[in-house]
Amino acid sequence: MAGKIKRLLALGAVVLTTAALAWAGSDDQPKASGAPKPVITKAVKGEQCVEPNDFMRRNHMKVLLHHRDETVLEGVRTKKYSLKECINCHASEKTGSVAASKDDFCVSCHSYAAVKIDCFDCHSTKPQGSMAMHPLNAETAHYAHKLAAQANSKVSAEEMAGIAQ
Amino acid sequence: MNNMKSMSDDTPSSPERRRFISVATVTAAGVTLAPGVMLIDVAHGRPEEQAASNAVRWGMLVDATKCASGCDECVSACSTENGWTPVAESAHPKQAPQWIRKLELQDPLTQAETNLPMMCQHCEEPPCVDVCPTGASFKRADGIVLVNRHTCIGCRYCMMACPYKARSLVHEPLNDTQKPDVPRGIGCVEACTFCVQKVDRGDGTTACVEACTASGHNALVFGDMNDPESEISKRLRELPTKQVRADLNLNLGVRYHGI
Ligand code: SF4
Ligand code: SF4
């Protein structure tokens, strides 16, 4: 009886190790068919977000939450961490919005991560004025062709796993 | 304003100070910081990282003797600025949000007519804030009464408590028709904000006041009631004004002349 259990445990250990190895190497392997990966389009305006991408992917909701209270309660309207500024940079060139179509910046990740947000029940998903006409965008409008070329990079699996954690 | 007074009264004018003043006088409209960058001194414009302060109390004067019959410029300007659908265009007029309403009143006895806009009176002691179970209804340091839509649960207690019927509930999804500067949405109560987005920008005025002035009626004045030098304070000193339902002792931010 004891021998049988030992053999079972050994077998279990082998199976687990194999699974772990397979997991570690999973990048080279074909993905299990699941939800399509989010499309992360490069911001139309600006070179770099107000914080590094990794930080923003995990913490944008915290900084937005803090900033929104300062804005609503105290009337502090600084640009850093303002949702309006996120939208100014990240509105898609096609739809002019961050949440109008399924590939738009906010919607793309949130639907992948199954996080339902209600920001846009109240907040406009579009920058003020049209994209090209907006004074904040005017200076970068001539980048449009450049950005279209490098747009639509797929996020890697590690990045997504990082966000999920 | 107290600061301003004490500065001019008590501070001995040092040479630097005198030089500063003369520079300020020369470039009265604005100070050039760098080529292309101007620091423009607008009425109570405060740096964007500075919180609203209780040194200011925003208020409005409505001169009902100048408010014209048949005119609703202030109402349409508000709807345009803040993105709410005019009642006439609404699919459900009875429950459509109204941030400001134009009233035409007639005394049944004397037949005398009175015209005036009615909106949130930005009470110093706001009943809507007293009753709110979540703290969503609040008064900002500078006297502007607002709804924090992040915490409003749409219970509508404040609508019941407001003596001026100033608040509305948004009943229907707005489907991304909001203005970027004026978030508003389904399930939340809303009212006149004294164009808080304009005030914070340093415009020192509201959409309704601009429209009334542009139409030539000049029935509305907006400004800082704490500043004795502001236009509104001067006019309030000269004109006899009333608070609507003054018996409630709410110390209103909107004062009416000619009612
Ligand atoms: S008028 Fe009504 S909504 Fe405005 S502050 Fe007073 S009680 Fe509140
Ligand atoms: S409707 Fe919103 S703001 Fe009004 S009392 Fe209820 S929670 Fe407060």
Phi and psi at residue B224, to the nearest 5°: -90, 110
Look up the pTM and report it: 0.75
B146 lines ligand 2 (CB under 6 A): no
Cβ contacts (< 8 Å) between A100 and chain B: which residues?
176
In this prediction the ipTM stands at 0.79
- pLDDT number for residue A37: 84
Cβ burial, residue A103 (10 Å; 0-12/13-18/19+): middle
- pLDDT number for residue B44: 54
CB B97 within 8 A of CB B256: no
Q: Does B60 have pLDDT greater than 60? A: yes
Beta bridge partners of B169: B189
Pick the more confident residue, A60 or A37: A60
Spatial CB neighbours of B41, under 8 Å, sequence gap ≥ 6? B30, B31
B253 lines ligand 1 (CB under 6 A): no
Q: Which of A122, A125, A119 is nearest to A65 (CA)?
A: A119
Cβ contacts (< 8 Å) between B176 and chain A: which residues?
97, 99-100, 120, 124-126
Mean pLDDT of A7-24: 47
Q: Does A48 have pLDDT greater than 50? A: yes
- pLDDT number for residue A47: 83
DSSP 8-state code for residue B65: T
B123 lines ligand 1 (CB under 6 A): yes
Spatial CB neighbours of B174, under 8 Å, sequence gap ≥ 6? A121, A122, B184, B185, B186
Q: Would you call B200 and A87 a contact, using CB atoms and an 8 Å cutoff?
A: no
Of all residues in chain A, the one with the smallest CA distance to B53 is A74
Residue nearest to atom 4 of ligand 1 (CA): B120
Mean pLDDT of B77-100: 95
Average pLDDT value over all residues in chain A: 72
Ligand 2 atom index nearest CA of B135: 8
Q: Residue A76: which of B51, B149, B196 has the nearest Cβ?
A: B51
Mean pLDDT of A115-120: 93
Encoded tokens for B228? 């004795």
Ligand nearest to the CA of B153: 2
Cβ contacts (< 8 Å) between B201 and chain A: which residues?
77
Where along chain A do its domains lie?
A: 53-133
B152 lines ligand 2 (CB under 6 A): yes
Chain B interface disruption, residue of A83, A88, A101, A122, most B CBs within 10 A? A122
**Which uninterrupted H or E stretch holds B191?**
none
Q: Does A46 have pLDDT greater than 90? A: no
Give me the residue label for tokens 């600084």.
A78
Pocket residue to mutate for ligand 1, from B120, B245, B255, most atoms within 8 A of Cβ: B120
Mean pLDDT of B35-50: 60
DSSP 8-state code for residue B86: P
Q: Does A128 have pLDDT greater than 60? A: yes
Sign of the alpha-carbon dihedral angle for A148, A150, A156, A159: negative
**B67, B136, B142, B247, B249 from B242: Cα distances, Å:** 16, 29, 21, 11, 12
- pLDDT number for residue B48: 87
Phi and psi at residue B252, to the nearest 5°: -80, 150
Average pLDDT value over all residues in chain B: 87
DSSP states of A69-117: HIIIII----STT-HHHHHHHHS-TTTSSSSSSTTSHHHHHHHHTT---
The rounded Å distance from CA B25 to ligand 2 centre is 48
- pLDDT number for residue B11: 41
Q: Would you call B180 and A68 a contact, using CB atoms and an 8 Å cutoff?
A: no
Nearest CA to CA, how far is B53 from chain A (Å)? 8
> H helices within chain B, ranges in order?
2-10, 15-26, 73-82, 127-131, 157-161, 196-201, 207-214, 231-238
Nearest CA to CA, how far is B142 from chain A (Å)? 9
